[in-house]
Structure 1
Amino acid sequence: MATSIKNSLILLTFLAFIIIQGFCDCSLNNINIGTVRSGREIKGKPEWEVTVINNCSCSQSKIQLSCKGFQSSESVDPSVFAKQGDSCLLVNGGPLKAFSSVNFSYAWDPPFLLLPSSSLVGHDCS
């Protein structure tokens, strides 16, 4: 009888873990990046406003974007978007909370295709 109860508790714990993890089934597909022209020009280059949105019920941190060749004729706040070789780190690697966004602007022509390349999914699901 004790073995049966113990096995049932192990099974329930395992199922609870799977269910909780299921709510945080996030991936890079949940990171959306929108780029729109601001209408301003900086040193003869069009300015682009970028919004990165975490469309997941969990935070994501250490978000890396592919940004090979990225340049800007205006400075970009490195605490928001920091170039590191062919990758760029978002918000100093800190968490982008569930369903929140971060914005930055840069000026260059043509606009850069920024795509999420990696992140760590948190366990703080909403």
Structure 2
Amino acid sequence: MATRCELFYALVLLSIFRGGKISLSLSLSLSLCTPTPIPSLPPSLFLPLSLSLLSFSLSLSLSPSPPLPPPLGAEEKREHGGTGQSQPCTTANIKVTQRTTAEWAHGNPVYEVEVSNGCICSQSMVLLRCRGFDTTLSVDPSVFRQLRPSEAGGVHGLCVVNGFQPIFQGSPVKFRYARGSPIGLTADSSEVNCS
């Protein structure tokens, strides 16, 4: 009886990337033989199908991938409660600077004030000590206004900056006022908003 054989070759490649690199390759060579019918013999005399494994190979390679960089900003958040600075954020990060302009209003020199936040975290509820503050130039109360003692827990001489809203690093709040001489403005308190 004659047989007919066919050669099968299978190659399987599998690559998995998760934390490290894993690649797997599998190759098989199979021979599948079936009897070839001879017209003069009855079909019941045929031999069953035969399958032979000719070759088998498996290779596995593991190679660690370099560690992933931390998410953007993660280094900053790990240090000192999320500030990315050598010290935690405090009201001391609120800086008040004043400069005299070349302008005059109602016979008084005009001063420009800049309130900035030197911390990576925003700071809201910013209050300045501003005892004796008065001006002959109108100031937008949503930017800067003197609090009544009833609004400041009975304390006199406090002013709110930016309507209690956050001041962000790199986005200072500015306003102008006019009076005979500059008034001392210093940060009194704030609420640090680090997440």
- Taking structure 1 as the reference length, what is the TM-score of the superposition? 0.79
- Within 5 A, what are the aligned runs for 1:9-28? 19=79, 21-23=81-83, 25-28=88-91
Q: What SS is found at the alignment partner of 2:180?
A: coil
- How far 1:109 moved relative to its partner? 1.4
Equivalent of residue 44 in structure 1, options 107, 114, 123: 107
Equivalent of residue 133 in structure 2, options 70, 90, 104: 70
Q: What SS is found at the alignment partner of 1:21?
A: helix
Task: State how far apart, in whole Å, the 2-side matches of 1:40 and 1:19 are.
Answer: 45
- How far 1:23 moved relative to its partner? 2.1
Equivalent of residue 166 in structure 2, options 95, 102, 106: 95
- Within 5 A, what are the aligned runs for 1:77-88? 77-85=140-148, 86-88=157-159
Extract unaligned runs of 5+ from structure 1.
1-16
- How far 1:91 moved relative to its partner? 0.6
1:13-39 superposed Cα distances (whole Å, 9 cap, x missing partner): xxxx97461526111221111100111
The amino acid of 2:171's aligned partner reads: S
Which contiguous aligned blocks of 4+ residues in structure 1 show a shift greater than 3 angstroms? 17-20
1:49-83 superposed Cα distances (whole Å, 9 cap, x missing partner): 00111010100000000000100001100000011
Equivalent of residue 107 in structure 1, options 178, 183, 186: 178
**Kept after mapping to 2: 8 A contact 1:60/1:122:** yes
Which one has a larger percent strand, Structure 1 or Structure 2?
A: 2
**Kept after mapping to 2: 8 A contact 1:55/1:100:** no
Percent identical: 35
The amino acid of 2:174's aligned partner reads: N
Which one has a larger percent helix, Structure 1 or Structure 2?
A: 1
Instruction: Indicate whether 1:35 and 2:98 are aligned.
Output: yes
Task: State how far apart, in whole Å, the 2-side matches of 1:51 and 1:44 are.
Answer: 23
The amino acid of 1:36's aligned partner reads: R
**Kept after mapping to 1: 8 A contact 2:120/2:169:** yes
